[in-house]
Amino acid sequence: MSGPPDLTEAFERSGLIDVSYVVEDSPVGRLLLAATGDGLVCLHYVDQDGDLELSLEQLAARLSPRVLLAPRRLDAPRRELDEFFGGSRRDFDLPLDYSLVKPGFTRRVLEQTARIPFGETVSYKGIAGRAGNDRAFRAAGTALGSNPLPIVVPCHRVLHAGGGLGGYTGGLDIKRKLLTIEGVLPEQLAGRG
Amino acid sequence: MVLPPFQTLLDSYSHDVHRFLVANVGATDADDCYQETWIAALRGYPKLQHATNLRGWLLTIASRKAIDVHRARGRGPVAVAELPEEGVVVARENADDLWTAVAALPTKQRAAVALRFLLDAEYPTVAATMGISEAAARRNVHEGLKRLREEHGHEWTA
């Protein structure tokens, strides 16, 4: 008895997938990319055991349980990420779905962060100001920590005013690596703890 | 009510659903039926009220799709064209051929036997999946086994 046929294409054609996803290896680790009909909705670091399952469960609970592996729906973000890591792309040109972002200040912080150009950095206070309240730098840090779309919404470009790296959801090694790719940090520092 | 990501259903139950359909409609129609089952499941999934028996829910959909196939074909035993030329007596040598014999049972007996033995379902599950009483589920399994024994020499006990 032969095994069940692959339904990936049939699902993609059906128009019934609410959240498509794919898992990709990258220079900053394993990434989960997920999209709705409106655009890329999350990009999670899923290197640890259980990360992927947890992320998919969150997507099912918060967006729709019709979550399915559908690599072709993620072709554009995969290509742009490849180009970014390969050095041939500086800006992402992707529709984004902010459904997983808290409306209000958090969303404004991330929208402002999305505008920071490649290779430039802004302080937590600076990004809080751009979002409308420069005293709310701690809240800005929290907002950036909740960023469901790291790399594409480049929260790694937000640093402490004194030059410290601040925090990062995927771990500071990844923040350091991204800033090195962009030439903000010199190459030789990339490997150091 | 939180439903798991649909992909986890596919990862967990694709083999069960496929085996069930091969036994029910034969290998030739099983693939189309399998696709229709999963598309129907995906369509209805967000409206599902309970996540307690997702396997049973999927098999219920598969049973309905299998019945559609039999209706489309008209009455009569299935998969006869797929039997080996030597006849079914030889078939007991091989598990796949055994399921070909199961596929030749009448619709309800076939579904009940497939659920009970192929998928190892308990009688309440067989009954719920087929939308019949537990007594009727037992009767269908019993009749199906009796027929397999009489016609093909397969020895199973319920």
What's the pLDDT tens digit per position in A81-101? 999 999 999 999 999 999 999
Average pLDDT over residues B94-119: 77
Q: Which helix (H) or strand (E) holds A182?
A: none
Confidence (pLDDT) at B128:
86
Q: What is the pLDDT of residue B120?
A: 79
Cβ of A123: how many Cβ atoms within 10 Å? Answer: 18
Q: Which of B10, B17, B46 sits opposite A64 (nearest CB)?
A: B46
Vertex B69: Cα angle to B63 and B70 (nearest 5): 90
Structure tokens given for B31:
């693939």
CB B14 within 8 A of CB B42: no
Q: Which residue has the higher pLDDT, A130 or B1?
A: A130
Nearest-by-CA chain B residue for A2:
B27
Q: Is A115 exposed, middle or buried (0-12, 13-18, 19+ CB in 10 A)?
A: exposed
- The complex scores an ipTM of 0.90
Specify the DSSP class assigned to residue B158: -
User: Which residues lie closer than 8 Å to A62 by C-beta, 6 or more apart?
Assistant: A99, A100
Q: In terms of Cα–Cα distance, which of B117, B121, B122, B125 is closest to B95?
A: B117
- Of chain B, the percentage scoring pLDDT greater than 70 comes to 80
Mean pLDDT score, B72-98? 48
Residue B80 pLDDT level (bands cut at 50, 70, 90):
very low
Nearest to A56 among B7, B35, B46 (CB): B7
pLDDT at position A182, please? 95
What's the pLDDT score for residue B92?
37
| A64-78 pLDDT, tens digit each | 999 999 999 999 999
pLDDT higher than threshold 80 for residue A118: yes
* Strand, coil or helix: A24: strand
Residue scoring higher pLDDT (A35 or B153): A35
Sorted by sequence, the CB contacts under 8 Å of residue B99 that are 6+ apart come out as A1, B22, B23, B114, B118
Interchain pair A16, B42: CB under 8 A: yes
Nearest to A98 by CA among A168, A38, A46, A21: A38
- For this structure, is A42 an active site residue? no
